[in-house]
Amino acid sequence: MKYSVFRAAFAAAMLLGVNTAAHAQLTVFDPSNFAQNVVTAAKAVKGEIYQNTNIVYQYQMMANQLLQAVNLNPVAMKAQYDQITGDITKVKQYVSTLSDMYGDLQDGAQYIGHVQNLISTSGKSPTQWLSDMNQLYKQGDATATNLFKLGNTVATHVQTVAQRRADLQTQLSLTPTQEATAQLTTHYLDLVSSQFSDLLNLTAAKTQDDAQKQAIDNQDAKDRAAAAASFAAQQDAERARLDALPGN
């Protein structure tokens, strides 16, 4: 009975977004809010890409003007040119990292959108949907397996690229506008990473729950089979005893 109540509460928390205070022991995941945060984070990253692409262009203009300048100290000009081209390389690498992150966030939006579609278009109750998903897991369904593998991959990529971005950002001297944009982007990335973690924890909990239930079902099936075999053996022994009686 307790087990059934737990599964009902888990289904409600996962698909209906129950109140956190009422179910403090469960992680509450809101797919719609998550999808919006992924899109917002992607827009923030895209804004950083645009801004830093413009900075690369400005650096290149500075380098060209320096090459066209006359009556400058060659040594000082070379040092200045090397510094500018070095900054161009760093910013280009930063833009490349941001582009990778933007792609990962787009994958994340596609992933969570697919999850929402699975739930909303199924036309089933949460309990039935979870039951069907459980059946897919048992059958090793490639689509269900790959879907949640994709979620794990996206979360890992977001965290990895965010670290690369942070490392590169420490090497750059950002303008106040760049700094504000980077901080805002980091804020949304933190939200996305946190919610990906919640979703994966829910998935892991459900998988563990299904595995435990399957183990119980398997043990029950073994016990029933053993009981049936024992009963059949008793019947055979009783039949043999009756056949051995005189007059048979």
Structure-token pair, residue 130: 């979870």
Answer whether residue 46 is part of any domain: yes
Residue-level pLDDT at 96: 72
Answer whether residue 93 is part of any domain: yes
> Which of the 8 DSSP states describes residue 57?
H
pLDDT in tens, 83-116: 777 777 777 777 777 776 666 666 666 666 666 6
Answer whether residue 22 is part of any domain: no
> Which of the 8 DSSP states describes residue 26?
S
For the chain, the maximum distance between any two Cα atoms, rounded to a whole number of angstroms, is 131
Give the separation between CA 137 and CA 146, rounded to whole angstroms.
Answer: 11
Structural domain containing residue 235: 33-242
Q: How many domains does the chain have?
A: 1
Answer whether residue 145 is part of any domain: yes
Give the separation between CA 155 and CA 191, rounded to whole angstroms.
Answer: 12
Q: Which of 66-75, 114-123, 176-185 has the lowest mean pLDDT?
A: 114-123
pLDDT in tens, 122-164: 666 555 656 666 665 555 555 555 556 656 666 666 666 666 6
Answer whether residue 57 is part of any domain: yes
Answer whether residue 63 is part of any domain: yes
Give the separation between CA 91 and CA 168, rounded to whole angstroms.
Answer: 8
How many of the other CB atoms lie within 10 Å of CB of 126?
Answer: 17
CA angle, 180 as apex, 157 and 178 as ends, to 5°?
80
Residue-level pLDDT at 211: 60
Phi-psi region of 18 (alpha: psi -120 to 50; beta: other; left: phi over 0): beta
Answer whether residue 109 is part of any domain: yes
Q: Report whether pLDDT(175) > 50.
A: yes
Percent of the residues in the chain that have a pLDDT greater than 70, as a whole number = 28
Give the separation between CA 116 and CA 110, rounded to whole angstroms.
Answer: 10
Residue-level pLDDT at 12: 41
Answer whether residue 134 is part of any domain: yes
pTM beyond 0.85: no
